Amino acid sequence: QTKDPKIALSLARSGILPFFILTCVVVYLWGKNIGGENFGLAALAIFSFTPTILAISGVATTDMALCSTVTTSVYIYWRWLLKRSLGLTVLLGIFVGLSILSKLSAIIFLPVALLALYVGNRFVTRSDLTTKERKAPVVHHWVSAAIVIFLIVWSGYRFSFESINIHIPESMLSL
């Protein structure tokens, strides 16, 4: 801990940068998967120079963490729709759990984004109707992902069975 506010602010802001870097990597990979190397670089340039992204990447808030983990979750889900695997299922569970931990509003964003991606994949491209592998039952994948999500969120709360109020000092509760 530091008592110098400038150092504390710099440290807090530097904690957001890994989320920006992760999102840049995901945007590049997603673009590269869709349209090749140049498309990935163009997507990365557009994303990384967007004023809103630059703004939330330089301040110590949870907005970039949410942006990063939701974007990564949606990308992993897109990859999972193309080729289901236990590894992608676990990764999806990890990043959905991290999304929820970064900001509870992810509970609203993620279902909408994942449903839109599913509908686009299913009804627009009809790509999930072409291979036998994609027709296999997916219940075990969803159960696995749900278990991982639960464990990630629970670990964020230190595997506690107690109410949140138990960790708050009595002096704070009277405010």
Contact (Cβ atoms closer than 8 angstroms) between residue 128 and residue 122: yes
Overall average pLDDT of the 48-71 stretch: 94
pTM for this structure?
0.84
Contact (Cβ atoms closer than 8 angstroms) between residue 99 and residue 106: yes
pLDDT tens by residue, 103-146 = 999 999 999 999 999 988 887 766 544 455 555 578 889 999 99
Where residue 169 falls among pLDDT bands split at 50, 70, 90? low
